[in-house]
Amino acid sequence: MKRALVLLVSLAALAAAAFAVLQATKPAPYVRLVYPLRYEHIVQAHARNYRLDPALLAAVIYQESRFRPRAESPSGAIGLMQLLPATAQGIAVRTGGTRFRVDDLYDPELNVRYGSWYLRHLLDKYGEERMALAAYNAGQANVDRWRREGGGIRFTETRHYVDQVLENRGLYARAYAAKLG
């Protein structure tokens, strides 16, 4: 009994060490397991159409919804790219849509199209990824105020969001180079 317990504890320690190594090195097979890529044709098409890095687009989708098209946030954001209905309606109007419905945001194709347009808009407006991603997370009004006041990203949650998206972009670029390249 004592020998079995020692063996069990040793195996648990070995498994924990292996998991720690995987976390630290994040080899491509591990990344593909933990960071899925779904809707890759939609991601590729809209990344190309809106001049976005497909790995960045995939990283935003992962951070926002973990690639779940029916994801909903407590603030009312919907779908893969977690768009607020009012934001999406404005995008629909700006891109020639005439019959926007909130249910459209559950459609991966439309959600990623609107989210890609919005991300491109923010990149063009702010001229740098960190502030564009901060605006995607915290809103343009907050980022505009931070810039007027001469500061950086003021919300801890938003700084973490930006750091995570950028880290995940590197993971997606490496693990899915053939699909996103």
In terms of Cβ atoms closer than 10 Å to its own Cβ (0-12, 13-18, 19+), residue 154 is middle
SS3 154: coil
Segment 65-79 shows an average pLDDT of 98
Residues 116 and 165 in one domain: yes
Q: What is the CATH number of the domain that holds 102?
A: 1.10.530.10
Task: Tell which residue, 46, 49, 74, has the closest CA to residue 60.
Answer: 46
What amino acid positions are annotated as catalytic residues?
64
Q: How many domains does the chain have?
A: 2
Predicted pLDDT at 13: 53
Q: 105: which residues sit within 8 A by CB, 6+ positions away?
A: 78, 79, 83, 85, 88, 111, 114
Predicted pLDDT at 165: 98
Query: Whole-prediction pTM value?
Result: 0.86
Residues 16 and 44 in one domain: no
Tokens of 44: 């590729």
> Residues 74, 86, 135, CA angle at the centre, nearest 5°?
75
> Tell me: the pLDDT tens digits for 158-170?
999 999 999 999 9
Give me the residue label for tokens 């009994």: 1
Residues 10 and 55 in one domain: no
Predicted pLDDT at 11: 64
Q: How far is CA 166 from CA 51, 79, 147, in A?
A: 17, 21, 21
Predicted pLDDT at 61: 98
56 residue type, one letter: L
Residues 70 and 128 in one domain: yes
Predicted pLDDT at 21: 45
Segment 17-44 shows an average pLDDT of 78
> Tell me: the pLDDT tens digits for 5-27?
666 666 665 654 444 445 446 78
Residues 107 and 157 in one domain: yes
Predicted pLDDT at 25: 62
Residues 144 and 115 in one domain: yes
